[in-house]
Amino acid sequence: MGKATGFLEYQRSEDAWIPAKIRIRDFSEFHARLGDEARRCQAGRCMACGVPMCQSALRLKGMVTGCPLHNLIPEWNDEIYQGHYEHALSRLLKTSNFPEFTGRVCPALCEKACINGMHGDAVTIHDNELFLIEKGFAEGWVKPQIPALRSGKRVAVVGSGPAGLAVADQLNRRGHSVTVLERDDRIGGLLMYGIPNMKLDKQVIARRRRLMEEEGVEFRTGIDVGRDVSLTQLQEDYDAVALCCGSKKARDLNLPGRQECGEIHFAVDFLKSATRDLLAGSRQWSVSAKDLNVVIVGGGDTGNDCLGTCIRQGAKSVVQLEMMPRPPVERSADNPWPQWPKVLKTDYGQQEAIEVFGADPRVYETTVKELALDGGKLRAVKTVQVKFENRALAEVPGTEREIPCDLLIIAAGFVGCEDYVAQDFDVRLTPRGTVETAEGSYQTSRPGVFAAGDMRRGQSLVVWAIAEGRSCAAQIDEYLMGYTSLT
């Protein structure tokens, strides 16, 4: 351990947020990074615990705390403190394929399990990770790792989100020839079109693509598997197939007039259109919130991303509806460390709404009951308070109200993978709409066809998608070679 008393001497210092009134002027990333010396002090706060729970991925009361990738966090924190940045990076890359993604968008399950957080502030593991990978790119330490030998085996990966990229990266390193098929015009899946640029600059994805192509991975965009290419074709051309198509069937609102109303959009479609326009250099938004009263159904990360995007487009007002009760500001007695902290989180979008509109945009225990249309055009939404009774959602009588609404965005999550891919591949689905595999396995009901990420797990985090991709790659490797050295 580099600094035995570091956790006593140094206070937690996160990468600074650019002030809300400044950052809403554009779609640039909104954090300012600490310098090397300050970062060393932050790494010096790591206690090098005998049992480092930060890398454990423990499931407690149905929620995971600790890193699903089992990153060697105390090891690389120690190396950062010592100033051995390149060696620290090598320890990070041993378990993590894409720290530049998780270092930006992961909610830091590792920090929730940090022992420093038991009575104080956790180590800035999330920021330390991003520091390392960006330092590695800047210094030229991240170089193409081209396999010395090729196995002669060919693998098709369907989908280029974090799970698909992890499968491809791992199998390519093993020496297999990997082709990634993506239906969109750019790779990245929800990294590209589901997370706005201010959280994850799209040049970061392009940089990773260039590196993987130099290492031998082939990317083919604009290929919609299940429509443009069939299972029969893929199985004729490849020795194994990995389905990493995500969980993209959005949960809808069952309301009269919903299908005919053009002012209602799913969150993923709204965010995708905004990113497409931004990448095209246009500020003539395909779906614009400018000067509109916006209502967002969904209080999670995606709803928050929609909120931040609407503010940058110049929305007149934004209200964010959440069916669940408002979380407590501090942990309750029945939610002790190291469980995932069920506490109120005010994210960047909510911060910006408070700055622009003067109030928190979130309305809890509320949902849309009815659409108010004027000549077929959305004018307002009628909401009602709800509560859970015997695990069923029930309306609270007498709580109806009308909220002005010119644009309604549905960010209520997803209900499984899209049907046509599963149907073309003739794989079984679970009642949750995900691809069925045996417990602990990534093999589908069809021989030689595997699944990973949200398509298998259901809607989840980027870090879980990468972890699934790594495990799936190991099983594919064993299927192809009879054994595996991948972890």
pLDDT tens for each residue of 86-119 = 999 999 999 999 999 999 999 999 999 999 999 8
Residue 443 and residue 462 in contact, taking contact as beta carbons nearer than 8 Å: no
How far is CA 359 from each of CA 21, 309, 315, 348, 383, rounded to the nearest angstrom? 14, 17, 15, 14, 19
pLDDT at residue number 276: 97
**pLDDT tens profile 413-457:** 999 999 888 888 889 999 999 999 998 899 999 999 999 999 999
Angle made by CA atoms 112, 118, 121, in degrees to the nearest 5: 70
* Order of strands across the sheet that contains 177-182: 218-221, 177-182, 154-158, 240-243, 449-451
Q: Which of 185, 171, 258 is nearest to 216 (CA)?
A: 171
> What is the rounded average pLDDT for all residues in the chain?
95
Distance CA 118, CA 337 (A): 6
Which SS3 state, helix, strand or coil, does residue 343 take? coil
Distance CA 398, CA 383 (A): 11
Distance CA 334, CA 282 (A): 50
Which SS3 state, helix, strand or coil, does residue 172 take? helix
pLDDT at residue number 417: 92
Distance CA 310, CA 33 (A): 26
For 444, other C-beta atoms within 10 Å of its C-beta total 25
Bridge partners, 466 (sequence order): none
Q: Side chain identity at 385, as an amino acid letter?
A: Q
Axis-axis angle for helices 301-313, 267-279 (nearest 10) = 50
Instruction: State the chain's maximal CA–CA distance in angstroms.
Output: 70
pLDDT at residue number 484: 97
Distance CA 103, CA 353 (A): 25
pLDDT category of residue 283 using cuts at 50, 70 and 90: confident
Radius of gyration of the chain (CA): 23
Q: What is the mean pLDDT of residues 268-277?
A: 97
Judged against a pLDDT cut of 80, whether residue 232 lies above it is answered with yes
pLDDT at residue number 422: 84
Judged against a pLDDT cut of 80, whether residue 1 lies above it is answered with no
**pLDDT tens profile 124-183:** 999 999 999 999 999 999 999 999 999 999 999 999 999 999 999 999 999 999 999 999
pLDDT at residue number 231: 83
How far is CA 367 from each of CA 79, 98, 387, 457, 479, rounded to the nearest angstrom? 49, 37, 10, 27, 47
Residue 433 and residue 417 in contact, taking contact as beta carbons nearer than 8 Å: yes
pLDDT at residue number 375: 87
- Joined together, the tokens standing for residue 238 give 């490849």
Structural domains of the chain ordered from first start = 6-139 (1.10.1060.10), 154-248+415-481 (3.50.50.60), 264-410 (3.50.50.60)
Q: Percentage of the chain surpassing pLDDT 90? A: 91
Q: What is the mean pLDDT of residues 244-272?
A: 94
Distance CA 215, CA 155 (A): 15
pLDDT at residue number 424: 87
DSSP state of 249: -
Q: What is the mean pLDDT of residues 196-206?
A: 98
